[in-house]
Structures are given as C-alpha cells and as structure tokens.
Amino acid sequence: MNYQQQLTPWVVYQLNSDSDRQVVTRFRRRNDADSYLKVLKQTRPNSQFVVAFDAAPRTAAPSKDEAALVEA
C-alpha cells in the first residue's frame, strides 16, 4: 500500500456479478465515501457498491527498536 492509499483508507468498491470487486474511488473520511456511495446508487441503480476500510497490512515483524518502544 503506497502513501497516497494510506492517506485515503475509505474505499468505494463496485461489486461485480462474479464475486469480484473493483475500486471506484478512495476517500480520506467515511462520510465523504458514504455521500459518494449515495450518488452512485442514484445514478447507477442496477449496480452494487459498498464502502470498506482498507487497512494497511502489517507484513514485517517488529524490529528490536519497535519492540523496545512497546515494552517501555
């Protein structure tokens, strides 16, 4: 996940018929994503959309310095 995606964690997905999802757009705030979702549902009533929080996955184990900070 790049820096821009970390700044905009709220994602509007379009759900496709084959259990696939496509990113429509990203937002910094949940209420902005919900408002855009409302507009999408009005303009494209036959499509399905959902808002989700896209958290950054933690891929690496914490370093010794980070572990020391947690223990302190």
**Tens digit of pLDDT per residue, the chain (72 long)?**
788 778 889 999 999 988 899 999 999 999 999 999 999 999 999 999 999 998 866 565 556 665 555 554
Q: What gap in Å lies between CA 4 and CA 55, rounded to an integer?
A: 13
pTM over 0.75: no
